[in-house]
Amino acid sequence: MKKTVKQMAVWMAAALAAVSLGACGGGNAAETAAAGSEAAGSESAGTEAKAEGDGTEASGEKKVLRVAMECAYAPYNWSQPDDSNGAVAIADSNEFAYGYDVMMAKKICEELDYDLQIVRLDWDSLIPALQSGQADCVIAGQSITAERLQAVDFSEPYYYASIVTLVKKGSKYESAKSVADLAGATCTSQQSTIWYQNCLPQIEDAEILAATASAPDMLMSLNADKCDLVVTDQPTGKGALVAYPNFVMLEFGGGDADFQVTDEDINIGISIKKGNTELKTAIDSVLSKMTKDDFSSMMDEAISVQPLAN
For residue 15, the model assigns a pLDDT of 38
For residue 264, the model assigns a pLDDT of 81
| Residue 179 near residue 258 (C-beta atoms within 8 A) | yes
- Whether 57-159+268-305 shares its CATH topology with 163-252 is answered yes
| Residue 267 near residue 108 (C-beta atoms within 8 A) | no
| Residue 240 near residue 232 (C-beta atoms within 8 A) | yes
Alpha carbon distance 126, 116 (integer Å)? 17
For residue 61, the model assigns a pLDDT of 76
Neighbour-count burial of 295, counting CB atoms closer than 10 A to its CB (0-12 exposed, 13-18 middle, 19+ buried): buried
**Among 158, 139, 308, which residue's Cα sits nearest to residue 239?**
308
For residue 307, the model assigns a pLDDT of 86
pTM for the structure as a whole: 0.72
Alpha carbon distance 90, 150 (integer Å)? 29
For domain 163-252, give the CATH superfamily.
Periplasmic binding protein-like II (3.40.190.10)
For the chain, the structural domain boundaries read 5-51, 57-159+268-305, 163-252
| Residue 106 near residue 83 (C-beta atoms within 8 A) | no
Cβ-based neighbours of 103, under 8 Å, separated by 6 or more: 86, 298, 301, 302
What is the sign, positive or negative, of the torsion defined by CA atoms of 11, 14, 19, 20?
Answer: positive
Longest dimension (CA), the chain: 111
Per-residue tens of pLDDT for the chain, all 310 residues: 333 333 434 333 443 333 333 333 333 333 334 444 444 344 333 333 333 456 676 656 789 999 999 999 899 999 999 999 999 999 999 999 999 999 999 999 999 999 999 999 999 999 999 999 999 999 999 999 889 999 999 999 999 989 999 999 999 999 999 999 999 999 999 998 999 999 999 999 999 999 999 999 999 999 999 999 999 999 999 999 988 999 999 999 989 999 999 888 889 999 999 999 999 999 999 999 999 999 999 999 999 999 875 5
For residue 23, the model assigns a pLDDT of 34
Order of strands across the sheet with 77-80?
72-73, 77-80, 96-98, 88-89
CATH of domain 57-159+268-305: 3.40.190.10
